[in-house]
Structure 1
């Protein structure tokens, strides 16, 4: 049974995702699909608009056969480690034949050429990257320029586009893991990764849809842009007080962390780099009445005060998230992350997914977890996921004890 792998967030799942899913199966010739999906917190350092089980259900309703959770250790990382963790999960299943990702270019040849040149660690490239960073460029732009200098002929602007960047890191991860999974790419259609404006009658970016949710406070406007299953799941979660979840829901627990730790203690958290701990401490007294003068929320006001040309919003959100979740540098060191995903947490499966799981019992290179209570004890990254679910539930209107410890109660979604 040929199986295609997808690396997703589905925040929320929309018509563009559905198109990518359908075309991925056609391009790969796959009979089955496995999605590695970020859990409660996402790559840009944001909480998911609905929880991981709701988004797994959206995926299954669309046709995905097996949904595995990308641990929070990897899901809220820069492109390199996000890609490495997700690809390591697909590789660890032992049943994935191909990986199909969306990209702005829709061409994989030039990405292969760059990946071939970049696959071994290079001191020369490190020096080029540091030079661009010292010039004051944000990391994505600095990385693109450094690659263009290291691999002549590379289009730095094209590489800086987010899906192209992720695509390169998927290829690098496949090489570094020695994986036989075949990479494929499709052109991202109609709406860009972060495009806020809606310019098509059926396709809008997840960013644009989240903006509709938070700014307009209604679900009905999403109807043209999402599959029926997505709308039904969103409506159920909305009525239950579990959606939409945004950063401002965590303002007080975040402030507690920022206020009770000294600058030196903040520096111990993952993603707090280059003296940002001092910038954070200096920004806190200027927040005024716990928010911006223009009525913005606490987190938004803090991000506005922290942001500079050097530090992107995404970098700052990831930093604040690691502080909120109490993730230390030692827990998420390069040595830890290089080991890849140490378990395969099942969030949901279809009847075909059940057959994949049976095969994986023989082929998987990591423990398969369907019940947390039965998980091996020596999995510190799993403990971070369990804690992340508890913190995530604080964003609900009225969290219950089962919400806080839902990982222990909730079985995989089955369709």
Structure 2
């Protein structure tokens, strides 16, 4: 059986995601689709809109055959580490290929860019270091260094586009892992990464869908942009929690944590650097909402995403020391499967290179315990009474 892998967040799963999954299967000729999905906190440094079990159900209903969890350390990391964790898990579970959506739409430019940056690695890093010293952000420094090497010539991937950037890091991760997994890409269609929803268009970004909801749209009013099964799952989640995940919802707990820790402790948390802990602390003293807080902290040097990742780590208690203790995923956490997915696991189980775990009780190492803790903190932020849900929820089966 041939498997194609995709790396996703499904926050929430919309029509563009459905198109991606269908095209990944078609382009690869695979028998099944495996999704590595972020858990309760996401790559942009945010609590998930709905919990990972709700999103697993969305994935299975949309035709995904296996859903496995991307551990917290990778799910909340910068693009290169996010990609490393995702590709490593797809490789470990035996996927022959992986497919990502991109603004580029063709794989050749990514291969050309990877070759260029591999051959000129020292020069590239020198450009980045020089740019950072001028005070501009890290993403901007990367782009300046890349443009200096390519000279704007055609034939290379446009790494100013968010999905292209992530796609490049997927290829880079596969190369560094010495993986034989084959990269594929499809053209991203419809809305761009951060676009608001557009009335009359069936494909919107997840960001646009969330923003529309928080501006007062009901779940039903957003049904144009999502499969019916996703709408059904969102309604169930809304009934269970009475709310959806956002930093505004989590802010009282985040603010309490910041003020309790103080600047000396804040600097111990992952990604908190260069004295920003003082600004974070002082801003929390003043701001009574998350958006006001962010307006006080955000600067040209730090993107909103980077600041939010700092805040995620502060909220969950994830330190620099813990971050540096991990290298690669140590297990595969199964969240859900179809009948085909179940057959695949039975067929491949002797060749899967990492332990396959279906119960939280078996997450005995430090990476697994961190995932359990992150879920507890997420459920606390959602004011759930079911703080043991991690231990009571089995993998979801869709026959």
TM-score under structure 1 length normalisation: 0.92
d(CA) in 2 for partners of 1:269, 1:28? 41
SS at match of 2:241: coil
Distance 1:241 1:40, change over 3 A: same
Task: List alignment gaps of at least 5 residues for structure 1.
Answer: 291-297
Q: Distance in 2 between matches of 1:15 and 1:48?
A: 18
Per-residue CA distance 1:35-63 (angstroms, 9 max, x = gap): 00000010100111110010010000011
Residue 197 of structure 1 deviates from its aligned partner by 3.9
Residue number in structure 1 paired with 2:366: 380
CA distance in 1, matches of 2:167, 2:201: 27
Match of 2:265 in 1: 265
How far does residue 118 in structure 1 lie from its aligned partner after superposition?
2.8
Preserved CA contact (<8 Å) 1:119 1:175: no
Moved more, 164-173 or 188-197: 188-197
After superposition, residues 15-414 of structure 1 pair within 5 angstroms as: 15-93=15-93, 95-119=94-118, 122-153=121-152, 158-198=158-198, 200-241=200-241, 243-287=243-287, 290=288, 298-333=289-324, 336=326, 339-375=327-363, 377=364, 379-396=365-382, 398-400=383-385, 403-414=386-397
Deviations 1:65-102 (A, max 9, x none): 00000011100111110011100110111x20110000
Distance, in Å, in 2 between the alignment partners of 1:389 and 1:25 is 31
Paired with 2:109 and 2:157, the residues of 1 have a C-alpha distance of: 13
The Cα shift of 1:154 comes to 5.7
- Where 2:349 maps in the other structure, the secondary structure is helix
The 10-residue stretch of structure 1 (54-63 or 152-161) with the greater mean CA deviation from structure 2: 152-161
Q: Distance in 2 between matches of 1:359 and 1:395?
A: 40
1:97 and 1:243 map into 2 onto residues whose CA distance is 39
| 2: CA distance, partners of 1:21 / 1:281 | 42
Note if contact 2:269-2:319 (Cα within 8 Å) is conserved in structure 1. yes
- The DSSP-based 3-state class of the residue aligned with 1:303 is helix
CA distance in 2, matches of 1:192, 1:345: 31
* Secondary structure, counterpart of 2:6 in structure 1: strand
Q: Secondary structure at the match of 1:308?
A: coil
1:305/1:368 CA distance change after superposition, 3 Å: same
Distance (Å, rounded) in 1 between the aligned partners of 2:157 and 2:311: 28
Matches of 2:43 and 2:268, distance apart in 1: 21
Q: Distance in 2 between matches of 1:157 and 1:320?
A: 32
Report the count of equivalent residues.
397
Structure 1 residues 405, 136: closer, same or farther in 2, change over 3 A? same
Q: CA deviation at 1:255?
A: 1.4
Q: State the Cα RMSD in Å.
A: 1.8
Deviation at 1:110, TM superposition (A): 1.5
Q: Are the aligned partners of 2:25 and 2:31 in contact in 1 as well (CA < 8 Å)?
A: yes
SS, match of residue 301 in structure 1: helix
2:350 counterpart SS class: helix
Q: Which runs of 5+ in 2 are unaligned?
A: none
Distance 1:120 1:264 in 2: 42
Cα distance change of structure 1 residues 70 and 205 upon mapping to structure 2, 3 Å threshold: same
- State whether residues 147 and 154 of structure 1, in contact with CA within 8 Å, keep that contact through their aligned partners in structure 2: no
> Using the alignment, how far apart are the partners of 2:125 and 2:296 within structure 1?
30
Give the CA deviation at 1:410. 0.4
For the Cα contact (< 8 Å) 2:253–2:381, is it kept in 1? no
Closer, same or farther: CA 138–39 of 1 in aligned 2, 3 Å? same
Provide, for residues 307-327 of structure 1, a one-character-per-residue CA deviation record: whole Å limited to 9, x for no partner: 111111111111101000000
Per the alignment, in what secondary structure is the counterpart of residue 33 of structure 2? strand
